[in-house]
């Protein structure tokens, strides 16, 4: 591995260029992987385009996972150190890595570094495993097993806000009446008496302990949606946080403590400073009080750096700002155990928790729709986040989005061999045939849940992704290297869902191996295309290695 290191003075700007279109001897095209999570998630990632793009976790473009890591099919990886104030530009031919002391980074010190590492191996698989060992790290344990085996149910898409104690009980009863199992029921937005109080609204939730006891009698664990904001009208909690110095303040006095999020107006909220240990203790204690009411765990939302006021004046190593705010938040969240979920991270691959994909829209395309699901799954796995919690089956139904029966079922199928399944819009909201199909695929997921858990444990031991790209089985296979609509579960299951509206067939590429059709007993040798593989709406194309044995 080669290390490149330079120390620069404030005002200097330096760039190094990676030629993404170069072909090694032999003339094979080079494919690139890793890179940032994006709303329009392309894979391989050389198709992404950036201009003067600050490389930090941020809400813009759904950039919640932005590890500074790229690896290519020639077996070369680049990793830029966390202390570098990194901006990127990317076009058809190059990836430009630029270091400069400009916002959103900390700009008040006199020197900074431009350090990165280059690793070389015989192929992309070996290069990635070397990167996991040297720079990305492995998780120290696996998340909650019940979240793998059975679906998570959320109030969010079905009910939006506000919600009530009776709403939650009615939803739980419907889930049971229709015969579905559960990992937990998540009470989403809006349960607080005001945003940031972390106290239930006594009008809509008159007896929380009674609610959680009833849900547990019905077989549910209970989780709660939590965010890192306090709205200014949320008193006395806002004044308490301000007085004690628990809020993020900008160096820019015209900004001060002000921010905006999706549940506030402009300059009507502030962001908790998780780089301040005293603020972390205060926040943690308030969550513990919710647990005393029977709440089992939490769904933590937001956490990207862009939610805090720009140019933050907070604790911690200055070279790591602002991204260290994401790290501090996520590490605080992880203290609440393996049932939690977060949606962002920065150098937090070691944590044994689910990381949720950001909110998808209810549509088919790559523009944050169903066709973005697999590229996002692969991007997260190849950035070292293998415990992926896909977003709600069917998307979030924002704006004028319409969830059709076909889109719901195809989304469900695409999700089946991912680590976890999450419903909000219920199958019975569509029709009874959809209920039957949903039961079949949640059962199929459950049947393979022991294998998912086995692969999670292998990730802990060896750093192998839970859901690798299909080139993992043959990193020299040019067809596999560019495939963006299939994925693996471990090294034994290949999944090729239908992702196009009105389609009842698709082409499937089988990489090296001997494969048994999951929908029949037919066996195929890999390294070939199956053209026009039939896939009516109730069928998911998937294939299992003939050597596979569930252990």
Residue 87 is predicted with a pLDDT of 98
pLDDT interval class at 453 (50, 70, 90): very high
What is the C-alpha separation between 180 and 419, in angstroms, rounded? 18
pLDDT interval class at 367 (50, 70, 90): very high
Helix (H, G, I), strand (E, B) or coil at 177: helix
Whether residue 166 has pLDDT greater than 90: yes
Whether residue 25 has pLDDT greater than 60: no
Residue found under tokens 């290069």: 127
Classify burial at 5, counting beta carbons within 10 Å of its beta carbon; exposed 0-12, middle 13-18, buried 19 or more.
exposed
Whether residue 22 has pLDDT greater than 80: no
Tell me the CATH architecture of domain 2-135.
Sandwich (2.60)
Averaged pLDDT score across all residues of the chain: 97
Per-residue CA distances from 215 to 219, 428, 437, 442 (Å)? 6, 20, 26, 21
For 145-220+295-306+321-462, CATH gives: 3.20.20.80
Residue 447 is predicted with a pLDDT of 98
Residue 550 is predicted with a pLDDT of 76
> Rounded mean pLDDT of 441-445?
98
Residue 466 is predicted with a pLDDT of 98
H/E run at residue 2? strand 2-9
User: Is-same-fold flag (2-135; 470-545)?
Assistant: yes
What is the full DSSP assignment across 245-305? Answer: T-B--BSSTTTTT-B--TTS-TT-EEEB-TTSHHHHHHHHHHHHHHHTTT--EEEE----G
pLDDT interval class at 448 (50, 70, 90): very high
The structural domains of the chain, with segments of one domain joined by +, span: 2-135, 145-220+295-306+321-462, 470-545
pLDDT interval class at 544 (50, 70, 90): very high
> Rounded mean pLDDT of 327-333?
98
Nearest Cα neighbor of 300 from 189, 456, 432 is 189
In this structure, what is the dihedral angle of CA atoms 223, 356, 277, 209, given to the nearest 10 degrees? 0
Residue 343 is predicted with a pLDDT of 98
Residue 523 is predicted with a pLDDT of 98
> Rounded mean pLDDT of 367-389?
98
Tens-digit pLDDT profile for residues 389-416? 999 999 999 999 999 999 999 999 999 9
Whether residue 26 has pLDDT greater than 80: no
Tens-digit pLDDT profile for residues 63-91? 999 999 999 999 999 999 999 999 999 99
What is the C-alpha separation between 456 and 466, in angstroms, rounded? 6
Classify burial at 452, counting beta carbons within 10 Å of its beta carbon; exposed 0-12, middle 13-18, buried 19 or more.
buried
Whether residue 24 has pLDDT greater than 90: no
Tens-digit pLDDT profile for residues 104-121? 999 999 999 999 999 999
Q: Which fold has domain 470-545?
A: Immunoglobulin-like (2.60.40)
Query: Of all residues in the chain, what percent are helix, strand and coil, respectively (each to 5)?
Result: 30, 25, 50
């Amino acid at each position: 591995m080669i290390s490149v290191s330079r120390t620069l003075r404030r005002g200097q700007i330096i760039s190094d260029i990676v030629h993404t279109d170069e072909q090694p001897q032999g003339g094979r095209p080079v494919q690139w992987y890793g890179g940032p999570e994006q709303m329009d998630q392309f894979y391989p990632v050389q198709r992404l385009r950036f201009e003067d793009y600050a490389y930090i976790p941020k809400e813009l473009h759904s950039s919640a996972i932005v590890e500074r890591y790229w690896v290519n099919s020639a077996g070369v990886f680049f990793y830029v150190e966390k202390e570098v104030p990194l901006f990127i530009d990317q076009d058809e031919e190059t990836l430009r890595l630029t270091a400069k002391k400009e916002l959103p980074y900390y700009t008040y010190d006199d020197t900074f570094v431009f350090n990165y590492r280059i690793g070389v191996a015989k192929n992309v698989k070996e290069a990635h495993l070397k990167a996991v060992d040297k720079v990305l790290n492995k998780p120290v344990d696996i998340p909650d097993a019940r979240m793998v085996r059975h679906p998570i149910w959320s109030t969010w898409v079905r009910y939006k806000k506000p919600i009530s104690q009776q709403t939650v009980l009615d939803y739980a009863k419907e889930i049971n009446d229709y015969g579905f199992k559960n990992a937990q029921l998540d009470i989403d937005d809006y349960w607080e008496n005001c945003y940031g109080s972390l106290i239930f609204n006594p009008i809509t939730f008159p007896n929380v302990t009674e609610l959680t006891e009833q849900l547990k009698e019905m077989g549910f664990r209970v989780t709660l949606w939590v965010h890192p904001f306090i709205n200014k009208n949320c008193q006395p909690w806002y004044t308490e946080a301000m007085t004690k110095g628990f809020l993020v303040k900008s160096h820019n006095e015209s900004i001060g403590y002000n921010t905006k999020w999706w549940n506030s107006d402009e300059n009507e909220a502030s962001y908790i400073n998780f780089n301040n240990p005293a603020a972390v203790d205060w926040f943690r204690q308030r969550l513990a009080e919710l647990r005393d009411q029977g709440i089992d765990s939490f769904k933590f939302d937001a956490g990207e750096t862009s939610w805090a006021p720009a140019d933050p004046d907070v604790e911690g190593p200055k070279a790591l700002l602002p991204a260290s705010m994401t790290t501090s938040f996520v590490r605080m969240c992880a203290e609440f155990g393996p049932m939690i979920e977060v949606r962002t991270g920065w150098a937090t691959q070691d944590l044994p928790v689910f990381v949720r994909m950001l909110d998808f829209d209810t549509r088919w395309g790559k523009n944050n729709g169903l066709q973005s699901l697999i590229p996002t799954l692969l991007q997260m796995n190849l950035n070292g986040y293998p415990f992926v919690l896909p977003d709600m089956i069917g998307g979030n139904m924002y704006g004028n989005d319409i969830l059709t029966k076909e889109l719901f079922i195809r989304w469900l199928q695409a999700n089946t061999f991912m680590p976890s399944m999450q419903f909000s819009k219920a199958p019975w909201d569509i029709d009874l045939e959809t209920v039957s199909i949903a039961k079949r695929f949640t059962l199929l997921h459950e049947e393979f849940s022991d294998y998912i858990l086995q692969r999670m444990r292998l990730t802990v031991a060896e750093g192998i992704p839970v859901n690798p790209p299909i080139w993992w089985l043959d990193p020299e296979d040019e067809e596999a290297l560019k495939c963006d609509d299939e994925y693996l579960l471990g090294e034994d299951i290949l999944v090729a869902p239908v992702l196009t509206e009105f389609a009842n067939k698709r082409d499937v590429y089988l990489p090296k191996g001997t494969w048994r059709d999951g929908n029949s007993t037919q066996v195929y040798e890999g390294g070939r295309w199956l053209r026009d593989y039939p896939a009516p709406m109730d069928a998911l194309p998937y294939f299992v290695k003939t050597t596979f044995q569930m252990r």
